[in-house]
């Protein structure tokens, strides 16, 4: 049965994608996107192709310069066009233009399809989307919980106010970056494995057994051990290359290693199998992360806790740990920001790994009631934890040879806001209580 609204987007439009998903869910629709699966009690599609080919009633394509040049969104659009052609589905793919674009910037495959514009305001775009979904008779899988809100939003009524709304992203902008690369020659062989281990102490890019590139000078004991000589200093030129390799590729590799060093310096633990960092028990007083909430109030949350799975004789405990990561974000040949992503790491009480099934079940039970505010609070808490005394997040020693990030996530301003008290959505717990998780119980 085709009963879901599939949202296709590029990462740069994650804020509007999340906003749209929440509003459509409040209006009663089941929504599928890679970050959210807000539907009814039916089995969920296992992957993107399955979702589009078997369950999507329509595909909303967030059209932007970023999505028009990225493989994943374009691949989703092609799948949707193929489904529409073979099943003769009218308006199956609905482009939503979320930023101004010239005609030649729009992919050729979408130029003949009428789009819905969000460039004159998100509220107006949402109203047009809701009207179109009604015309297509897309089912509202959440029943009678949302029609009143849908009518309010469609008519741009009192729930939508013409005052700005602050939206928090998970982006940490770069406020300072290295300007030059340093090349070092080794008079002793530096193997790949040794380079990996050394990177946690001195982030670098290994060119070969006897040559490395870095932003900063190595610690003295590393210099002596490898008998390193600095032979060249090179300016980081946008679009440039070093030894035939793109300079941006080298800088990205060094930046990722600098993130690993930061996590290690903050005493986070590393899971070599999953290649993730996580908060171990004991590095924080009472395992509490303290931070300032979006409204300025003091807040705190647990970085480590426990969840019980099963019942009776099969009841067992697992431990959950907040697991942050910082991904490199590039734009126009430069590293402009780092993306703060949050996961949950699951272990047994003795810190040993758990089965894949237990891992997935524990994560579902733990996170099923984490919505925007809960994820935002964790992002604020982690950014506060990583912050240096000067207020920024430094990925190196010397400022001139290291990336320095803003100490809090980037904020954006939407031209309109939704008054939540006037726009009562379905209780998320009622939606997710239908999930097949009855064998679990949280403590």
pLDDT in tens, 119-137: 888 888 999 999 999 999 9
Q: What are phi and psi of 69, to 5 degrees?
A: -120, 5
Q: Which is higher by pLDDT, 77 or 153?
A: 77
- SS (HEC) of the chain: CCCEEEEECCHHHHHHHHHHHHHHHHCCCEEECCCCEECCCCCCCCCHHHHHHHHEEEEEEEECCCHHHCHHHHHHHHHHHHHHHHHCCCCCEEEEECCCCCHHHCCHHHCCCCCEECCCCHHHHHHHHHHHHHHHCCCCCCHHHCHHHHHHHHCCCCCEECCCEEEECCEEEEEECCCEEEEEEECCCCCHHHHHHHHCCCCCEEEECCEEEECCCCCHHHHHHHCEEEEEEEECCCCCEECCEEHHHHHHHHHHHHHHHHHHHCCCEEECCCCEEECCCCCCHHHEEEEECCCCCEEEEECEEEEEECCHHHCEEEEEEEEEEEEEEEECCEEEEEEEEEEEEEECCCCCCCCHHHHHHHHHHHHCCCCHHHHHHHHHHHHHHHCCCCCCEECCCCHHHCCEECCCCCEEEECCEECCCCCCCCCHHHHHCCCCCCCEECC
Distance of alpha carbon 134 from the chain centroid? 31
Pick the CATH number of 4-163 from 3.40.50.10140, 3.30.70.270, 3.40.50.300, 3.30.70.1520: 3.40.50.10140
% of the chain at pLDDT higher than 90? 47
Q: Across the chain, what does the average pLDDT equal?
A: 84
Instruction: State the pLDDT at residue 41.
Output: 41
Confidence (pLDDT) at 299 = 95
22-36: average pLDDT: 81
Q: What is the pLDDT of residue 387?
A: 94
Model confidence at 297, pLDDT cuts 50, 70, 90, reads: very high
Q: What is the pLDDT of residue 266?
A: 96
pLDDT at 146: 46
Residue 333: pLDDT over 70: yes
User: Over the stretch 303-322, which tens digit does the pLDDT of each residue have?
Assistant: 999 888 877 777 888 899 99
pLDDT band at 6 (very low <50, low <70, confident <90, very high): very high
Could you tell me the pLDDT band of residue 358, with boundaries at 50, 70 and 90? confident
pLDDT band for position 44 (50/70/90)?
very low
* Per-residue pLDDT at 86: 93
pLDDT band at residue 286 using 50, 70 and 90 as cut-offs: very high
pLDDT of 347 higher than 80: yes
Q: What mean pLDDT comes out for the span 201-213?
A: 92
**Cα angle 286, 290, 294; round to 5:** 150
**Tens-digit pLDDT profile for residues 210-252:** 999 999 999 999 999 889 999 999 999 888 899 889 999 999 9
* Partners of residue 167 on adjacent β-strands: 412
* pLDDT of res. 441: 34
Q: What's the mean pLDDT in 372-392? A: 92
Question: Which pair of tokens denotes residue 306?
Answer: 């426990």
Instruction: Please determine, for residue 154, whether its predicted confidence score (pLDDT) is greater than 80.
Output: no
Residue 418 has a pLDDT of: 65
- What is the per-residue pLDDT for 164? 82
Domain ranges of the chain: 4-163, 178-254, 267-413+437-441
Q: What is the pLDDT of residue 61?
A: 93
Confidence of residue 46 (pLDDT cuts 50, 70, 90): low
In this structure, what are the phi and psi dihedrals at residue 180, rounded to the nearest 5 degrees? -135, 150
């Amino acid at each position: 049965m085709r009963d879901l609204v599939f949202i296709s987007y590029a990462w740069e439009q994650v804020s509007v994608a999340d906003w749209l998903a929440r509003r459509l869910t409040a209006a009663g629709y089941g929504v599928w996107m890679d970050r959210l699966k807000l539907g009814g009690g039916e089995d969920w599609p296992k992957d993107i192709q399955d979702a589009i080919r078997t369950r999507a009633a329509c595909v909303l394509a967030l059209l932007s310069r970023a999505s028009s040049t990225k493989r994943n969104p374009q691949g989703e659009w092609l799948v949707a066009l193929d489904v529409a052609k073979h099943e003769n589905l009218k308006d199956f793919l609905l482009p939503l233009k979320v930023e101004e674009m010239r005609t030649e910037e729009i992919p050729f495959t979408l130029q003949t399809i009428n789009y819905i514009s969000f460039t004159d305001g998100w509220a107006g775009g949402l109203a047009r989307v809701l009207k179109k979904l009604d015309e297509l008779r897309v089912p509202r899988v959440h029943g009678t919980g949302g029609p009143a809100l849908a009518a309010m939003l469609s008519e741009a009524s009192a729930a939508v106010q013409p005052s700005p709304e602050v939206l928090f992203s998970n982006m940490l902008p770069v406020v300072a970056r290295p300007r030059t690369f340093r090349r070092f020659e080794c008079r002793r062989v530096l193997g790949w494995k040794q380079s990996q281990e050394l990177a946690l102490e001195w982030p670098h890019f290994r060119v070969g057994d006897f040559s490395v590139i870095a932003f900063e000078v190595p610690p003295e004991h590393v210099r002596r051990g490898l008998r390193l000589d600095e032979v060249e200093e090179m300016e980081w030129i946008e679009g440039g290359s070093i030894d035939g390799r793109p300079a941006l590729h080298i800088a990205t590799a060094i930046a990722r290693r600098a993130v690993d060093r930061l996590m290690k310096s903050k005493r986070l633990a590393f899971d070599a199998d999953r290649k993730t960092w996580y908060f171990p028990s004991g590095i924080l007083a009472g395992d509490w992360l303290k931070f300032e909430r979006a409204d300025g109030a003091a807040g705190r949350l647990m970085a480590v806790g426990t969840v019980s799975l099963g019942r009776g004789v099969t009841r067992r405990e697992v431990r959950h740990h907040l697991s942050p990561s910082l991904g490199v974000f590039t734009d126009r040949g430069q590293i402009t920001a780092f993306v703060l992503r949050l996961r949950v790491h699951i272990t047994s009480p003795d810190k040993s790994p758990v089965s894949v099934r237990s891992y997935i079940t524990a994560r579902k039970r733990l996170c099923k009631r984490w919505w925007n505010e809960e994820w935002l609070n964790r992002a604020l808490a982690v950014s506060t934890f990583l912050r240096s005394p000067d207020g920024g997040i430094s990925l190196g020693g010397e400022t001139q040879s290291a990336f320095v990030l803003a100490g809090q996530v980037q904020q954006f301003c939407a031209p309109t806001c939704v008054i939540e008290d006037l726009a009562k959505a379905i209780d998320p717990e009622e939606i997710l209580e239908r999930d097949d998780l009855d064998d679990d119980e949280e403590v």
